[in-house]
Every structure is written in C-alpha cells, then in structure tokens.
Amino acid sequence: MNVLLVCECREGNLRDESYELIAFAERLGASRAFVLVGGEDAVPRAEGTLYLADGARGGEYNPELHKRIVLAAAEREDPDCIVFIHSSYGWDLAPRVAAALGAAQVSEVVAVAGDGTFEVGCCNAKLRRTVAPMTSRTVVTIQAGAFAPSGLPHGVPTVVRLDLADDSPRIEFVGYEAAEKKGVDLGKAEIIVSAGRGVGKKENVAVIADLARALGGELGASRPVVDAGWVDHGHQVGTTGQVVSPRLYVACGISGAIQHVAGMKKADFVVAINTDRDAPIGEVADILVVADVMQFVPALTARMMQ
C-alpha cells in the first residue's frame, strides 16, 4: 500500500499533527510520500519524497489551489490512500480531493481495523463504527491525537518542487482571526486541575476548583461537564475546547477520550484520579490515583492548605 500524507502549515509553521500522519502510515504498514503547501522552513523531519508547493500566491489556504496541488502530487504517486489531519484545513480540503478523484472518503479515523477498514467514532465518541471503503482509492482524515508518533521526528525528505502551470488564485486568503477568548486563557496556565463527568454533579465541581486554587492553578473541564452546564465553555480542554501545555495537569474523574487527551497531552506532568484503574487516561498519566475523587481531592486540598 502507498499513501500520500497531506501535511499542514498554520501561520508558516508545520503543524505538529503532521507527524501523526506518519504514525498512521506506519500503522497501515504503507510506503509514504508527502505533499506540503508552504515554505522550506516548514518541511517535516522525515524520510521520503515530499512534494513542496509554494502557496504564497494564494495565501496560506486557498481551497482551489491546494486541491490542484494535492491532485498533482497524487497523479505522480498514484497512492491508494490520501491522508489529511481532521482539522479545519483537512475537513475542507479532503472532500474536494475525494470528489475530484471519485474516491470514498472516511472522516475522523481513530484506528486502523485491518483488511483496509477503518474505525471512526460515533455517538459522541462513545462507540466506534468500522468502515470499509468501496473504492480502490480512499481519502481519509485522521482524528488529532489518535495516532501517536513513535519517537522524535527525524530525517530529511527528498524535496520535489511542484509548480502548477496556472496557479492564479480565484479567491483571496485574507487571514486568520482568533476567536474571542471568553473567561480564562488556559493556554498560559502552568497548573490546571480539570473536572470530568466522574465528579458526579455540578455542586461537586467546587471541590475540584478548591484544589486548583490551593495549587495556584486554573480550573479546566471535560466536554460533558461543560455540556451539562456545570462549568463555562471557556474552561473546556480538548479538540473543541482549549489546547493546553501546563507544567502540571490533574485530571479528576476524566476517562481520557481521544478528544480530551488531544488538548492536554503536552502537559509536562499528568496526575489522574479515577476509580477505574483501566481508564485510558492512565496511558498518558505519570501518576494514576485509583480513588473516588470526592474522597481523595478534598483530602489532598486540605493537606495542601496545611
């Protein structure tokens, strides 16, 4: 199997998730080539052929131009599978490429299931479906955080310049506008203590907030806690919340779903408190305390206050 990995730049820099594309290719046992619209500075540290196109004329994202660039790379590589990150870039561009090629598209893949099939989340990621593409060529987007890179990135790609005969853009890329930050900016917090569904009820969130205060940190939350209205969305950590990189992250009653972990996996040190010793959060935690949060957290806070 041969895959074409579509790397992604944001404001001139290669997105780290581009390395997750490599982990996905490794999981498939596929040979790989890359395509990137961006500058030489953004080239990924990896072995393989990299089709590099200068997107400067069309701005950082120009759907029509980027589609033609990916298709030009696909024509040369004849890949079985073209892979994007499931980001705003990928979910806009992947269907355009799939439609142009008449290829099946599988969105938000979280695992490779074997025999050319993929697992995707459903029912708010509580269940997984196994999807079998019906076309010989497939376009895939992968969930950020689902395919962890093995080791540090290394290598130098063989760069092949892609120059389109006609790269005159028909739309103008104006720029990015950051969403208005409401409430706390968790991105700058050094310590975050987060409440998950395991805290049980809205009133119990105060116990988690007390620990955050005692540690001099901020309160974070998982999505169900926000959806239930226990905590404002400004505190949500994860793919649809904030991406954080504190020195210490304390996950209280949080299972460790991919979408949550994608938002906190850059924390230096993770402590998880969970009644389930097999909860997936244990895979990213440096310390897993198997305990009831409502017993353990107040005791810890009291000790911190001494």
Give CA–CA dist 196/217, Å, rounded: 17
Q: Does 104 bind ligand FAD (CB under 6 A)?
A: no
Minimum CB distance to ligand FAD, residue 114 (Å)? 23
Residue placing its CB nearer to ligand FAD in the complex, 122 or 171: 122
Give CA–CA dist 211/228, Å, rounded: 21
**143 annotated as ligand-binding:** no
Give CA–CA dist 296/301, Å, rounded: 9
Give CA–CA dist 249/211, Å, rounded: 12
Residue placing its CB nearer to ligand FAD in the complex, 1 or 287: 287
- Let me know if 147 is exposed, middle or buried by CB neighbors in 10 A (0-12, 13-18, 19+): buried
Q: Does 235 bind ligand FAD (CB under 6 A)?
A: no
Minimum CB distance to ligand FAD, residue 110 (Å)? 10
Q: Which part of the chain contacts ligand FAD (CB under 6 A), choosing from 4-12, 97-105, 157-165, 259-267?
A: 259-267
Q: Which part of the chain contacts ligand FAD (CB under 6 A), choosing from 67-75, 157-165, 192-200, 210-218?
A: 192-200
Contact letters (x/-) for ligand FAD, 287-306, by CB under 6 A? -----xxx------------
Does residue 194 contact residue 222 with C-beta atoms inside 8 Å?
yes
**222 annotated as ligand-binding:** yes
Q: Does 224 bind ligand FAD (CB under 6 A)?
A: yes
Q: Does 90 bind ligand FAD (CB under 6 A)?
A: no
Residue 120 CA: distances (Å) to CA of 21, 107, 125, 129, 163: 16, 7, 8, 5, 35
Q: Does 197 bind ligand FAD (CB under 6 A)?
A: yes
Give CA–CA dist 223/237, Å, rounded: 7
**213 annotated as ligand-binding:** no
Q: Does 246 bind ligand FAD (CB under 6 A)?
A: no
Minimum CB distance to ligand FAD, residue 194 (Å)? 8
Q: Of the candidates 189, 239, 288, 300, which one interacts with ligand FAD according to CB under 6 A?
A: 239
Give CA–CA dist 98/95, Å, rounded: 5
| Token pair of 55 as six digits | 């997107």
**257 annotated as ligand-binding:** yes
Residue type, 74: A
| Token pair of 22 as six digits | 């490599």
Number of other residues whose CB lies within 10 A of the CB of residue 184: 16
Minimum CB distance to ligand FAD, residue 58 (Å)? 29
Compute how many residues bind ligand FAD; rule: CB under 6 A: 31
| Token pair of 115 as six digits | 């025999």
Q: Does 144 bind ligand FAD (CB under 6 A)?
A: no
The DSSP string of 10-53 is ETTEE-TTHHHHHHHHHHHT-EEEEEEES-GGG--S-SSEEEEE
Name every residue whose Cβ is closer than 8 Å to that of residue 290 and which is 6 or more positions away in sequence. Answer: 274, 275, 276, 277
Q: Of the candidates 38, 196, 220, 246, which one interacts with ligand FAD according to CB under 6 A?
A: 196
Q: Does 260 bind ligand FAD (CB under 6 A)?
A: yes
Residue placing its CB nearer to ligand FAD in the complex, 160 or 291: 291
- Secondary structure class of 179 (helix, strand, coil): coil
Residue placing its CB nearer to ligand FAD in the complex, 189 or 254: 254
Give the annotated binding-site residues for FAD: 197, 222-223, 236-240, 253-260, 274
Residues lying near ligand FAD in the complex (CB under 6 A): 121, 124-125, 196-198, 222-225, 236-241, 253-255, 257, 259-260, 263, 273-276, 279, 292-294
